[in-house]
Amino acid sequence: MAIVECFERIPCDPCAAACKQGAIRPFADICDLPRIDHELCNGCALCVVRCPGLAIFVVDASAGDGSAVVKMPYEHTPLPRAGQTVRATDRSGRDVCAGTVTRAQRPSAFDHTALVSIRVPVEHAMDVRGLLLPPGAGLGAGAKEGAQEGAEGGAGAGGKADARAGLGAGVGPVVVCRCEEITEDDIVAAYEAGYRTPEEIKRKLRCGMGPCQGRTCMPVVLSILSRLSGRPVGDMAPPTGRPPLKPTPLASFAALKYGPARPSSVEEDGR
């Protein structure tokens, strides 16, 4: 069944149009939150690949063997391989459990959006919302796979330069930070130039400093750095957040109650 984790009333409705079963009720207003009729949902995942917010997943626990398959959108390269063991993560990138890839597809019917299915213990199915390839997979065998996958893009094989090509091979520039238009290649280049932490990457490239304050891109940045460095995402400190953390109407600030104005540090010093 489809699990929708869409909590913000934004003008967005492709999920409703995607569902051929009528399981996602028609929106009365484009800012409506999707409501699912689970009786009608057949788990086809068409809504998963159409959702620009990566807010829909399909959880299939029908095997009854203590496992469940979680189908999720996947915006990285290389694509995992069926049978590959991965680390399943929650929405914030924290490690949850091991998972096994059962299917990875990027068909033209999905407008080349990748859908990856992983099998995990059923008790973790409602937590698992992402995956990490084994450390180095993007730089070694995975890069080779990426190069194969992108053969029409002319990617080579072997060596550091090709490892870099393997991350985005064949799919063109992979935009990671939409607010600041930073691509995966930009991040890899910065990493190779010595900017290794999320804070350094943020200061060098500005990803995480756009209107969404990194809510969209930072989990992806962490996962790229994890793949490049082999360090678990949970070991990396996210960059310092600066308020406001989301676009906030001016009226919200106007409504705040302030005490008497405090002197600035310059005034206190008498300078």
Which among 2-10, 106-114, 134-142, 169-177 is the span making contact with ligand SF4, rule CB under 6 A? 2-10
Strands 85-89, 95-105: pairing kind? antiparallel
Distances (CA, A) of 215 to 39, 92, 244: 33, 10, 12
235 φ, ψ to 5°? -90, -5
The stretch near ligand SF4 (CB under 6 A) out of 20-28, 84-92, 111-119, 133-141 is 20-28
Residues 6+ apart with CB under 8 A from 267: none
CB distance 225 to 191 below 8 Å = yes
Closer Cβ to ligand SF4, 216 or 226, answer by number: 216
Check binding of 68 to ligand FES (CB under 6 A): no
Question: Is 19:49 a contact under the CB 8 Å cutoff?
Answer: no
98 binds ligand SF4 (CB under 6 A): no
Q: Which does 178 bind (CB under 5 to 8 A by kind): ligand SF4, ligand FES, none?
A: ligand FES
According to the binding rule CB under 6 A, does residue 234 interact with ligand SF4? no
Which of 26, 29, 35, 58 forms a contact with ligand SF4 (CB under 6 A)?
58
Nearest to ligand FES of 96, 177 (CB atom)? 177
Number of residues that bind ligand SF4 (CB under 6 A): 26
Please, where are the H alpha helices in 104-217?
141-149, 159-168, 184-192, 198-205
DSSP H or E stretch at residue 267 = helix 265-269
Q: Residue 105, interface with ligand SF4 (CB under 6 A)?
A: no
Distance set, CA 95 to CA 99, 210, 226 (Å): 11, 27, 12
Contact of residue 177 among ligand FES, ligand SF4, none (CB under 5-8 Å per partner type): ligand FES
Binding site for ligand SF4 (CB under 6 A): 2, 4, 6, 12-15, 18-19, 21, 23-24, 34, 36, 41-47, 51, 53, 55-56, 58
